[in-house]
Amino acid sequence: MNAPFESGLAGKADDVRVKELEVAGEQGPLKARLYSAGPAAKRDTLIVFFHGGGFVEDKLDDSDVFLRHLADGGHAQVVLASSYTLATMRPFPAAVEDAHAVLLWAKKNKTKLGWNGKRMLVAGIEAGANLAAVCALMSRDRGAPKLDGQILLMPMLDPGLSTCSMREMPNCPDMEALADDCAAAYRGYLPHAADRTHPYASPLQSSRLKNLPPALILSAEDDPLRDEAEAYGAKLNSFGVPASVRRLLPAPLTEPGGRNDCACKASALTEIAAFIAGLDAEAATG
């Protein structure tokens, strides 16, 4: 935990266009935003993103700067950022059913999104990264839509809160609140104990991880979610799923929007751009 803090956010992407949308979730209409940059021609890649907030808070606004960078990554991509039903309204599986429904909606509404339908990626931060990982499982299990990649940023994957990085946080007073927030989030999202081992709630516990899309998983040095993120990457690899795991330097995660700020670091954006470029290159040679 003694690695230096990486200071300085990447410069703001000012030429990104943002459009307010309404998309169809499983529970009903959902608030969403479309982020695009560059020429208005249809893009090859759509990234569907889900925000953090521990399943209980609408944190779509907190991700705005990161989403502008993501849309401005230079890989003919457009980003659809969607809300989902919060656990304060309905607990699991409402959010994951919403998330998967958003993917299906996007596939049917390519023209509205300015996307040519070639490649779809799913992404998320924290609780949203849980939903992104689960969407990969659901899309495989249900046969649609086809996903070409998953980008999981500091994901919540272990409702059991059993990893070393989670258990050691109570010994770090400035980080203890992060672990407490995770525990409270899961109490709201998974009020029934039996759901905590369901693979659509806890991807890390799944024993069926074959035939999933390639993954980029970013953890952070001082994050209690660090070990579960890295364990999931190792488990994906063991099932033959290409998974790149990168640990970011410590960041002020205890501050409001800390994980979104961490995702805006140049090192994180570089990893994401390289991952998408790799998928582009593989598609071109495939």
Per residue in 51-98, pLDDT (tens digit) is: 999 999 999 999 999 999 999 977 668 999 999 999 999 999 999 999
What pLDDT digit, counting tens, does each position of 194-244 carry?
Answer: 999 999 999 999 999 999 999 999 999 888 999 999 999 999 999 999 999
What pLDDT sits at residue 285?
Answer: 77
Which contiguous run of DSSP H or E holds residue 20? strand 17-24
Which contiguous run of DSSP H or E holds residue 191? none
What pLDDT sits at residue 98?
Answer: 98
What is the rounded CA–CA span in Å between residue 138 and residue 237?
19
What's the distance, Cα to Cα, between the start and end of the chain in Å? 41
pTM of the model: 0.93
Q: Both tokens of residue 93?
A: 């599986």
> Are 82 and 112 contacting, i.e. CB atoms less than 8 angstroms apart?
no
Residue with tokens 């999981």: 152
- DSSP assigned state of 44: E
CA distances (Å), origin 273, targets 145, 163, 185, 279: 23, 29, 30, 10
